[in-house]
Structure 1
Amino acid sequence: MPVNQIPIGTFSRITQLSQKALRLYDERGLLVPVARDICTGYRYYTVAQAERGIHIGHLLRLGFDLGEVEVILAAREQGDAGAIRDLFARRLAATEQEIGRLHAIAEILRTQDPLNGGFRMSVTEPVIKEVPALRALARREKGVYHETIPGLIEELFTFVFPVDGRQPAAKMAGPIMYICHDDEYRETDADIEMAIPITGSVNVAGSRVEIRTLPGGRFVSVLYTGPYPGVGKAYERLFAYMGEHRLSPAGPSRELYLNNPHEVPEAELLTEVQFPVQEVSPSA
């Protein structure tokens, strides 16, 4: 072994990257060893490569994935500071969002009610109500709940709360709502639609927002009070009620957010959960 070559074990200690990770980076072309033993396949690196390895480890610890690390290193080699700044800004925004989520968890743990699974919450008795058809601004996208929902709400709000001082293009005629199009909980590709009932004319041309009519009909409804993560208790009560009264879902559920999480404590958040329903046939 030439004196200027470092075996993979030593290189692993220098860079604080596991040998398994180094083999992966070799396969991806991210950090290719300068030499390889023909008989054993043992990898060797140079001192100059250690800086790149240390930089890779640093970026991974900041939360960047390997694809982003590759882009950053390529941009660094090309002197493209703008591309690196953009990636860092996006990572910062995601980190701050995660910090907010963790703070919310910490607050729940501090004030937990051990008999209620950590949540202070309540659910009203279900009621049947006739809901009229609603003209609404809507935006639908697949993604992760805590990331996608705030972004969709922000897009919709540009039409009712313009940031540039213009008169709003539409007026809210009801609370913002989440419409669930999935039959199961999904970690990363949830089918999420956010909608705001509106009045007035509005031009959505050139945007990803659409104007559509949300169907009305017979809905069973409960009012849930408490942190958003505990809303499953409302669905539990709704499905129990539907089973007791021989009702079945006739469309996607809706969650109507009746107050602002920036203005009230989590324990006072109000969410109305609605399910369109139909009678179950006697033979079913």
Structure 2
Amino acid sequence: MFTIGDFARLGRVSVRMLRHYDAVGLLYPAAVDPSSGYRFYTAAQLSRLNRLVALKDLGLTLDQVRIVLDEKLSVEQLHGMLSLRRAELRQQILADESRLRRVEARLRAIEREGAMPVDDVVVKPVPAVRVARLTATAASYGPEDIGPVIQPLYPELMERLGRAGVPITGYGIATYEPGAGEEVLVHAGVTVAVSGSDQHDFEVVDLPALAEAATVVHRGPMDDVDATYQAVATWIEAQGLKQNGFAREVYLNYGDGDPADWVTELQLEIVRP
């Protein structure tokens, strides 16, 4: 048998936790010296300790852990529970990393306030263009909702175009439309020169021309686009103009190489009073 200190090291837990598990009836020592009160454990008890710690890490309370342990789950059942929890934790990590990127982007936008010259805004007509596209719905126009929706659309669209043998003739263009309530319809498109067909598993549409659009080039990933939007908004307001609808995002160079070198043109239709 092992002393409580040796067993703690073998089980990679603290002695304090072993004493606590003993006190709450989750893991009793195999033997206790009646004169000294020293606790002793066997190697076989490591199995229960491993299950106990794993279930606690799943988020179960100690009372819930006791119930599960007393039911004597099989290795397969326990493995299934742990695999599910692992997937949940990974998803949470991805969500937290995404949230951190958004916070950092907002901070960079704050730091760059007023640094981007409004002279970079160019007013020009935008011709009509034909695109093949896929559409999905985002809960809102916030980056936390748009990003996870639009990002998988483009690889899927590329795969479908490849299967259909449809060549891409220009840039990627993302457009947005209001949906129900706060929802936004997200259209991930690329320029093509084919007609729509019932044989296609994607939509082919003609984006209408814009008589006048305030356009500005954004450099870097779209996570950092807030400062660019702020600059163009400042320009539109200073000119006494109105914005009509969502911006079009034309991906002039996006997704390859260093993200700092990515280039997107924002096209915001404007209306003169």
TM-score (norm 1): 0.57
Q: Does 1:127 align with 2:151?
A: no
SS at 1:177's partner residue? strand
Give matches, 1:41-120, under 5 Å.
46-49=70-73, 51=75, 54-55=78-79, 58-64=82-88, 116=111
Contact 2:242–2:272 (CA<8 Å) still a contact in 1? yes
Give how far 1:154 is off. Answer: 2.1
Q: Hey, what does 1:78 align to over in structure 2? A: none
Q: Does 1:277 align with 2:262?
A: no
CA distance in 1, matches of 2:109, 2:136: 36
Contact 1:258–1:271 (CA<8 Å) still a contact in 2? yes
Q: Does 1:178 align with 2:179?
A: no
Give how far 1:220 is off. Answer: 0.6
Q: Does 1:139 align with 2:140?
A: no
Give how far 1:259 is off. Answer: 1.1
CA distance in 1, matches of 2:69, 2:230: 58
Contact 2:248–2:267 (CA<8 Å) still a contact in 1? yes
Q: Hey, what does 2:197 align to over in structure 1? A: 203
Counterpart AA for 2:72: A
Aligned residues: 211
Q: Cα gap change, 1:98/1:19 in structure 2, threshold over 3 Å: closer, same or farther?
A: closer
TM-score (norm 2): 0.59
Counterpart AA for 1:193: H
Q: Does 1:224 align with 2:218?
A: yes
Q: Cα gap change, 1:123/1:203 in structure 2, threshold over 3 Å: closer, same or farther?
A: farther
Q: Hey, what does 2:250 align to over in structure 1? A: 256
Counterpart AA for 1:150: Q
Identical columns (%) = 19
Counterpart AA for 1:155: E
Larger radius of gyration, structure 1 or 2?
Answer: 2
1:48-78 per-position Cα deviation (integer Å, ceiling 9, x unaligned) = 137577435522442248xxxxxxxxxxxxx
1:185-234 per-position Cα deviation (integer Å, ceiling 9, x unaligned) = x8xx7532111122134535351x21112121121100111232111111
SS at 2:153's partner residue? helix
Give how far 1:157 is off. Answer: 1.9
Structure 2 unpaired stretches of 5+: 1-22, 28-50, 139-144
Structure 1 unpaired stretches of 5+: 1-6, 24-30, 34-43, 66-90
Structure 1 or 2: more helix by fraction: 2
